[in-house]
Amino acid sequence: MGGAITGSRVVRLEQDMCVSQGPILVVEDVPNILELVAVTLRFKGYQVVTASNGEDALERIAEQRPALVVTDILMPKLDGFALMYKLRTNPDTNSIPVIFLSATYVTPEDKEFALSLGAARFLEKPVDTEEFLLTIAEILTNGIDTATEPISQEKFYQGYLARLESKLHHKNSQIARTERLLKSLPEEQKPAFEALLEDARQLRRQIEVELNELFAILDEQKRLG
């Protein structure tokens, strides 16, 4: 996150933040990013609660209803897309605004699917601090329209499967390119690319886990019905 907030926009933004809105729930599995987002919001006067994945987030929401959820998408246990769908299909939580922050799901199709689930905004990482805080203030001040019906379970699973398969294909291509490149790099350059390769493999493992879980759900639905 970067970028300074200056001038009259600061005054207007801080006036908005003085209004009691309840806690903001930040959901992120990478500890340093979670801390950065939480500290940024707390510094501007917001009450913040945190969760490391979608399952933790559902527990926090049950304990204390947040005014807003800010969530990553690619997370273990329950990712941002599944969390969003659960919130929108539950009458007790379907009016809670959700902002997606993502560095992985950033294609137009990813954003379209996120917004079809009922997300208020979709911001790419790294997030500009001014844009982030203005978005927070606008949503808390003006609210969002939650009158539209949530998408059907079938459409959710179809869209979710398409996004996961697309992301896995992209990650496999990225890994293959890096592996080929490593063979020709000078020794002194290899450590940096080996670290990138390991990060990419870890993300691929996460995507594969989510795909396997989704396939199991779809197989169970076919069996039952």
Residue 146 pLDDT level (bands cut at 50, 70, 90): low
- Nearest CA-CA partner of 3 in 137, 126, 135: 126
Measured CA to CA in angstroms, residue 55 lies from 14, 16, 40, 77, 152 at distances of 32, 31, 24, 7, 21
pLDDT in tens, 16-55: 444 446 799 999 999 999 999 999 999 999 999 999 999 9
pTM: 0.83
**Contact indicator for 26, 68 with CB cutoff of 8 Å:** no
Domain ranges of the chain: 8-142, 153-224
Q: 215: which residues sit within 8 A by CB, 6+ positions away?
A: none
Q: Tell me the backbone φ, ψ of residue 51, rounded to 5 degrees.
A: -150, 150
Give the per-residue pLDDT at 8. 45
Most confident of 13-17, 74-78, 147-151: 74-78
Q: What is the mean pLDDT of the chain?
A: 88
**Contact indicator for 70, 26 with CB cutoff of 8 Å:** yes
Residue 80 pLDDT level (bands cut at 50, 70, 90): very high
- Nearest CA-CA partner of 33 in 173, 123, 127, 116: 127
pLDDT at 2 over 90: no
pLDDT in tens, 177-216: 999 999 999 999 999 999 999 999 999 999 999 999 899 9
Q: Which fold would CATH assign to domain 8-142?
A: Rossmann fold (3.40.50)
Q: How far apart are CA 51 and CA 152, in angstroms?
A: 27
